Structures are given as C-alpha cells and as structure tokens.
Amino acid sequence: MKIGVVRETAHGERRVALVPDALGKLIAAGLEVLVETGAGLGALIPDSAFADAGGRVVSAEVLYAESDLVVRVQKPSPEEAARLRSGQAVMGLLQPLLDPGLMATLAAQGVTAISLDAIPRMLSRAQSMDALSSQANVGGYKAVLQAANAFGRYFPLLTTAAGTAKPANVLVLGIGVAGLQAIGTARRLGAVVRAYDVRPETREQAQSLGAQFVTLKTQIDATGSGGYARELTGEERASQQAELNEVIGAMDIVITTAQVPGRKPPVLVTREAVAKMRPGSVIVDMAASALGGNCEASRAGETIVTDNLVTVLAPENLPASMPIGSSAFYARNLSSLLLHLVKDGALNLDPSDDIANPVVITLAGEIRSESVRKLLTPPAAVAAGA
C-alpha cells in the first residue's frame, strides 16, 4: 500500500501531514511512503530528510497517480479533490461538518474520506490519534505568546530600581485543551490568570494550573457531549452576558477559545464588553473564522485596534505559525490512526470498530457519516420524513 504526503496549498498553511521521524513505523508495517517535492519546506524539512527516512520524493503527478491513500493536514481544494480517483482514499482534517458539499463530491467520485476531525475524543485508546487536541494545544500556547507580544506592558510582577510593574490580568474563556494550555502558558509568564467556562466540571482543571475560576451569579451548566460545551440558548446567553461583560472589562488580556463543532462559535465578548476594557488591553480570538468568532469586534485573519485602543487579534490558523512542533504532533496522530486502520498492508475500515466507524465519512460512493447526511438533506425532505 502506498501512502502519499502532499504539499499543503491552503493560504498560510506551513504544516506537513507526516514528518521523517514518523516514517519508520509506517515502513516497518509494510507501507511505502511517497512525499511530494517540497511538502515539508513550510516546516523547514528538506526533501532529503524524507528520503533519508525511507520515503520516496516524487512530483505531485506521480503522487496522485500512484498513491492508494493521500494524507494531508487541511481539506483538499476543489482542484486537489478533482485529482483524486475512484478507489483512492484521502485522510486529514477534512472539516466534514463545515464543508458537507466536499464530502458529497468525494463520495460521487468514489473516494474514501477519512477525517481526523471525527476522532472520538472521549475514547481513551483514541487519544494518541486526537489531532484536534494536539493542534489546540499548540494554538493555546501561541495565543498567549501573541497576546504578550501585542501587550505594551510586562506579564509578570517586576520590581526594579525604576519602580514596580504589576502583573497582567489574563482571562481565558473556554477551558478545553486550548484554554488549559493558554492558562498554563500565561501562568508560566507570570500573569494573574482567571478562567471561565459554562461547564462547572472544568473548575478543578483550571485551578490545578493556578487559575482562579470565575463563577457568575447567573452560572449555567452547559455541559454537552463528546467533551464539548453545548450551545447556549438565547435566554441563557442574555442572562449571563451582562455579568461576564463586567469581568471582561477589568482584564488586561482576554483569550477566547470556545467552539462548537460544525457550527458558528458562540459570542462571548460583545462590543459592549470591548468598550469597557482599558486602552492597551488585548483580545486574542482563537475561534475567529469565516463563520465568525467569540468576539464581536474581531475580523478573521486581521489585527485591529478599536476606538478605545483595545487591540483585537483574530488569527485563523495558530498551529501553522509553529509548523515544526505542530507537524510533529500531527504526524504522530495521523500515523497512529493509520496503523490502527491498516491490516495486512491494506485499509480495513470495519464499521463495527469504534474508531474506524466515526472517522470514515465516505466509502464506496456513499456518505457514511449520519451528521453529514443530515446537513445535505433538504429541509423539505426532513419535514416530509425522508
């Protein structure tokens, strides 16, 4: 079986799906690894490093023609999807819930789509395959570094001959993987850190890293499934927002991390909250995307300064800004999943397997994911019971 590692083409993407260190186990399992020329350059990995690790460096034309499975980080562009052939498979962060149309296209072409977005995160034996968590870890770390770089003062308490600098007050909104890493990084930089989440069970996690957990009088338990928070109702959001605005207004740094898979991120930092913040304060909206973000003032991919001199950063792909580390993590996740799915040198996509079943989005010309099928079903058909 031949595995093809493509060069990413998405804007700003510097990661690569496999790194040389990951090739050994794959080759030992009887797999042949083809690497597109220049695939690792964004992560500062030369073609020679892949060749030395046992990979075969080839052109894109050869890779698509010979590979049984194409592995990547980002979902393929329409042009890249068109190069995939029937019977071929593609594996990566395919975003099936955000782009169900692409899944329908791949199914129509007879391409098997395997998405690391769909790894069951609460399943202990799948943790080594959890790319969303590994990349969120990188994102949480980089978000704090970006905030520190944009902040015009120190993070730690400093006493000098010229006077004392107070520590920065940092608020992390959303205590998932990214939020926990943001808490830990901000604490290591010496900031006073507070954290908030609509899931009460995250209190101990935040406190274990040295953060103060913010408890609102209007606190709502929004624990959802799969380790995520559920989306709040309009009434629930309104009841807590005014109180949360006051907390935000007292902060120097606010880092937001809250996302709902396949849906628009919840607004946690309103324009009213931004208006309450002091000049020189910084917001990093980790959830910013084409769908929106956690901060009403953010614009995806841009850094803006508001009328009251608050800097709002909305980076779209923080893991790609640390490509060496994030590629190494991602490669371990992908190779762990790949080795789990390969039996006797071929993909074995057993629907009874609790890891294989959710990650296989399309197979044999059909969309296997029920969630994706629902997104593609016209509302009229749903109402009619189709």
Contact 52, 24 (CB under 8 A): no
User: Which residue carries 């940092």 as its tokens?
Assistant: 170
Question: Which residues, including other chains, have CB under 8 Å from residue 61's CB and lie 6 or more apart?
Answer: none
Beta-carbon contacts of 245 under 8 Å, excluding residues fewer than 6 positions away, are 270, 272, 273, 276
Can you read off the two tokens belonging to residue 134? Answer: 């590994």
CA-CA-CA-CA torsion sign (250, 255, 261, 262):
positive
In sequence order, the β-bridge partners of residue 196 are 173
User: Could you tell me the two tokens for 346?
Assistant: 């071929």
Instruction: Output 68-72 pairs: Cβ under 8 A, ≥24 positions apart.
Output: 68/1, 68/2, 68/3, 68/347, 69/1, 69/2, 69/3, 69/4, 69/338, 69/347, 70/4, 70/6, 71/3, 71/4, 71/5, 71/6, 71/17, 71/18, 71/334, 71/338, 72/5, 72/6, 72/8, 72/17
> What residues are labeled active site?
121, 127, 130, 133, 228
Q: Which H or E element spans position 142?
A: helix 131-150
**CA gap 338, 348 in Å, rounded:** 10
- Please name the residues in contact with 36: beta carbons below 8 A apart, sequence gap of 6 or more: 4, 5, 6, 7, 57, 58, 59, 60, 63
Q: Tokens at residue 130, please?
A: 């959890």
